[in-house]
Amino acid sequence: VQSHRTFQDMSYSENQSFNDSADLRLPQSYRIDWMRSIDNNKLISDITIPGTHDTMALHGGPPAECQAWSLAAQLRAGIRYLDLRVFALDDKLYIMHGVVYQHTTFTEVLSTIRDFLKEYRSEAVLVRVKPDLFDKDKVEGMVAQLIVGDRDIWVESAIPRMVDVRGKIVFLQKD
């Protein structure tokens, strides 16, 4: 007898390859601190790092939403590469997806990442900031002001080893 069950008919435990639920359910054996097992001398460019496209795109309906999980949940699920779309307005940096405000600021995103890294010092979080909409140069300048001198942030042009970036936010840029 052949089964004609569809993807939607499957329970979560039967199909863990896709999830559009905001609830993060990790197996009991899951290691949130998966980077702990990476050799300290390994270059981060030699590691396959799971990431999300438009990491914070949680609002705006089907045309704008790319994610179901909050940033904290994504980090707990093992995501270590974040793609952030940032818009500068007045003296604040907002997280956007196109013209849709994602109900958070860049400062709040940094705070969430820092909280995660305080708990899981073996991990590193790679961040790509893509200036969105207008005043793109202003975004870069404001981000630079926020992170200048922060010892828990890596912004050097050299490719770091894991030992260099454990517990840190690694900013990636095109140039």
pTM of the model: 0.85
pLDDT at 173: 76
Q: Token digits for 25?
A: 């359910």
What CA–CA distances, in Å, run from 102 to 9, 51, 61, 95, 138? 31, 18, 11, 6, 19
Tokens linked to 27: 């197996």
pLDDT band of residue 3 (cuts 50, 70, 90) is very low
105 — pLDDT class (breaks 50, 70, 90):
very high
Q: What is the pLDDT of residues 107-117, one digit of tens each?
A: 999 999 999 99
Q: How confident is the model at residue 28 (pLDDT cuts 50, 70, 90)?
A: confident
- Tokens representing 109 are 């995103």
